[in-house]
Amino acid sequence: MKNWNIIIAIITLFIFIGLLLSYEMTPIVSLDNTMSEFLGGNSFIIAFHYIGDTSTIIIVAICILILLWLKQRNYLGMAFVLLTVAAGKVLNQLIKNWIDRPRPEIIDQLTTFSFPSGHAMLSLLYLFTIAYLLSEILSNKKKIAIIWILAIVLTFFVGLSRIAESRHYASDVIAGWCLGYSWFILCVFWYERKRKKQLIYENK
């Protein structure tokens, strides 16, 4: 893992904490209102929310676990997926319930809390996990770059879809992205340390 990944993860963690402490302040409320007006009702962007649905994430995560088990017997990789996606989901819910920020006021609004956005955080976690695991087995740098760009773009639009659909404020989404990235890098740090120890043991 590159040092700049860690630096960015620290920055995104501080951004998350900043939003946590300031989402009721005038500048953040103004940002939320501006983004809601700009994106609200955009059907193209709204369609991306399916990529971040819990059912989609569960299905994809199970498929990854099965492939890691059957194709590679990569048990450490399976633990990595569970840590990023499953533990990330638990972390998101714990923080939501702790902060208990109400969602935007619309008809038929969801009953769960708003901060941080689960779609934004978990879509980043599972899409980045896929990109990371594929990067391990691919040697073509162009293909790896394309995979990462696709993961970033999809993550971006999934987050925006929650604003367009009035399910979240923009600050919820940004906080979800930031916390998701920080958690992802922490999981990668754990995985790479374990992987290094495993390789040393296997080469003895």
Give domain limits for the chain. Answer: 3-202
pLDDT on residue 203: 66
CB 170 within 8 A of CB 36: yes
pLDDT on residue 69: 86
What would the pLDDT profile of 7-48 be if each residue is shown by its tens digit?
999 999 999 999 999 999 999 999 999 999 999 889 999 999
Q: Which two tokens stand for residue 36?
A: 């809601």
Q: Tell me how far apart the alpha carbons of residues 153 and 146 are, in angstroms, rounded to a whole number.
A: 10
What would the pLDDT profile of 141-167 be if each residue is shown by its tens digit?
899 999 999 999 999 999 999 999 989
Q: Tell me how far apart the alpha carbons of residues 204 and 180 are, in angstroms, rounded to a whole number.
A: 36
CA dihedral of residues 164, 165, 169, 171 (deg, nearest 10): -50
Q: Sign of the CA dihedral 197, 198, 199, 201?
A: positive
pLDDT on residue 109: 77
| Mean pLDDT across 158-186 | 95
Q: Tell me how far apart the alpha carbons of residues 189 and 9 are, in angstroms, rounded to a whole number.
A: 11
